[in-house]
Amino acid sequence: MKVAAILLLCMALFHQGHSNSCQGRCGYGIDTSYSCQCNTACERYNDCCSDYYTLCKVGPTSCNGRCGESYNAQNPCHCNSQCSQYNNCCSDYSDYCSTGDSGATITDAEIKSLSETLFALDTNKASASQLILDPQALVADSQTSSQSDLSSRPLYKFVDENALFSRPTYAALLNLFDNYKRITGQAESFTSQQLTEQETFLKETMLNTELGRELFAFLYTKGVYKSEAEFIEDLKNMWFGLYSRYNGAMDSSGFEHIFAGEIKGGKVSGFHNWIRFYLLEKRGELNYYSHSFNGPWSNYPDVLGLQFHWDGYYKQVGSAVIGCSPEFDLALYSLCYIARPGKYCYLSLGGKQFIIQTYTWDNSSYGNGKKYIGSAYPVSM
């Protein structure tokens, strides 16, 4: 009897705390134990809870906070894994509960949480003493097309190569840069050593760092990959698989476009890696003009939107994450491409919003219809 009494008391307290709210009750039948109701009948009988219209009429038209919820016939649209099959998803389903090519549901909140974790794990990033910038001229977006050299000095004032470039992930990245022809229309081909360098880069960044293993663990729990071997093989195809940007030649890949940079149509295309920029600037092959965006971060990594000439070709806005490790760059771009292919990907770094735009390459595919990375870069605006 004592247990029953306690149970009744708990139920009474529960109802007392929730009797005036539709939280978790939208569309349910009439329940006289509540002082107000949360179904369409309450509109006729004028006994709706005060938050009925907010939670049950406005809320159910959006997937914000509803991803993966159970089906409720009273809701005008839905946010579960089957709504696409029944064509009754809310209009913002892809924004909040998007599924990538893998079919896994990865929410914006999960992406932001993971990006903060990866940010904290980037122990290979440059410190303030290892990387010193000289940004100089800041221009408005309307001036980026002027091709005016407004900075008399290089962007990179100092980079501690001994400290940074001796680290395995940096060394693996450096080995890849000279494997490509920058002009589109010229077919790429790789020696066995160069193919090994691609695999080394992926293994050093994704398997031999805590940051890379954290990304894999997340994707594994979401069912995207069943093993590390599958993870690495997919990244290899996604990033290094060749496709044609010009005249049918197998002349490009996601890695070449984003990390190394290309020349297409008489201008720089892609080119979103800070290490590549530094090396070309050091060799005198790249001339820094100005920057049109400087992110809100006071330490590295930071984000800049850059204007520059690369050996005769101009880049109007080349955005890049500055000072991060190669594994951080690769992890964020890969996460966003897998979770938000062809869309804005909203992340959080040190409590500040960071957006990556990804693009799929739709003219060819690998595996079972998977799409190569067309491009990915930080949104600088």
Q: Write the DSSP symbol of residue 28.
A: P
What per-residue confidence (pLDDT) applies to 59?
60
Confidence tier at 102 by pLDDT (50, 70, 90): low
On average, the pLDDT of the chain sits at 89
User: DSSP letter string over 327-353?
Assistant: HHHHHHHHHHHHHSTTSEEEEEETTEE
What span, in angstroms and rounded, lies between the C-alpha atoms of 334 and 358?
9
Q: What share of the chain is helix, strand, coil (3-state, %, to 5)?
A: 35, 20, 40
Confidence tier at 217 by pLDDT (50, 70, 90): very high
pLDDT in tens, 240-261: 999 999 999 999 999 999 999 9
Report the candidate in 117, 115, 212 with the shortest Cα–Cα distance to residue 172: 212
pLDDT in tens, 260-274: 999 999 999 999 999
Task: Assess contact for 63 and 73: CB atoms under 8 A.
Answer: no
pLDDT in tens, 28-72: 777 777 888 888 788 878 888 888 877 776 667 887 767 767 788
What per-residue confidence (pLDDT) applies to 118?
98
Report the candidate in 185, 277, 233, 238 with the shortest Cα–Cα distance to residue 359: 238
What per-residue confidence (pLDDT) applies to 39?
80
Annotated active-site residue 272? The verdict is yes
Catalytic member of 78, 203, 222, 257: 257
> Quick check: 275 pLDDT over 60?
yes
What per-residue confidence (pLDDT) applies to 60?
72
Report the candidate in 93, 117, 95, 97 with the shortest Cα–Cα distance to residue 106: 97
Q: How confident is the model over 115-137, as a mean pLDDT? A: 98
Burial environment of residue 158 by CB neighbours within 10 A (0 to 12, 13 to 18, 19 or more): exposed
What per-residue confidence (pLDDT) applies to 132?
98
> Quick check: 13 pLDDT over 50?
no
What span, in angstroms and rounded, lies between the C-alpha atoms of 238 and 215?
16
What span, in angstroms and rounded, lies between the C-alpha atoms of 13 and 161?
65
pLDDT in tens, 196-211: 999 999 999 999 999 9
Confidence tier at 16 by pLDDT (50, 70, 90): very low
Annotated active-site residue 57? The verdict is no
What span, in angstroms and rounded, lies between the C-alpha atoms of 254 and 376?
8
Catalytic member of 272, 291, 343, 371: 272
| Pairing mode, strands 267-269 and 286-294 | unpaired
Catalytic member of 203, 315, 343, 371: 315
Report the candidate in 288, 278, 297 with the shortest Cα–Cα distance to residue 173: 278
Tokens 């006729």 label which residue?
Answer: 44
SS3 292: strand
What span, in angstroms and rounded, lies between the C-alpha atoms of 313 and 307?
11
More reliable by pLDDT, 75 or 154? 154
> Quick check: 103 pLDDT over 60?
no
Task: Assess contact for 182 and 257: CB atoms under 8 A.
Answer: no
What per-residue confidence (pLDDT) applies to 11?
42
| Pairing mode, strands 313-322 and 302-310 | antiparallel
Tokens standing for residue 13: 């307290």
Report the candidate in 100, 94, 38, 101 with the shortest Cα–Cα distance to residue 67: 94
Task: Assess contact for 14 and 24: CB atoms under 8 A.
Answer: no
User: DSSP letter string over 46-66?
Assistant: T-B-TTHIIIIIIGGGS-TTT
What per-residue confidence (pLDDT) applies to 90?
86
> Quick check: 178 pLDDT over 70?
yes
What per-residue confidence (pLDDT) applies to 4?
47
Annotated active-site residue 15? The verdict is no
What span, in angstroms and rounded, lies between the C-alpha atoms of 276 and 24?
52
What per-residue confidence (pLDDT) applies to 5?
47
Q: H-helix or E-strand containing 178?
A: none
Confidence tier at 25 by pLDDT (50, 70, 90): confident
What per-residue confidence (pLDDT) applies to 65?
64
Q: How confident is the model over 299-328, as a mean pLDDT? A: 97
What per-residue confidence (pLDDT) applies to 100?
58
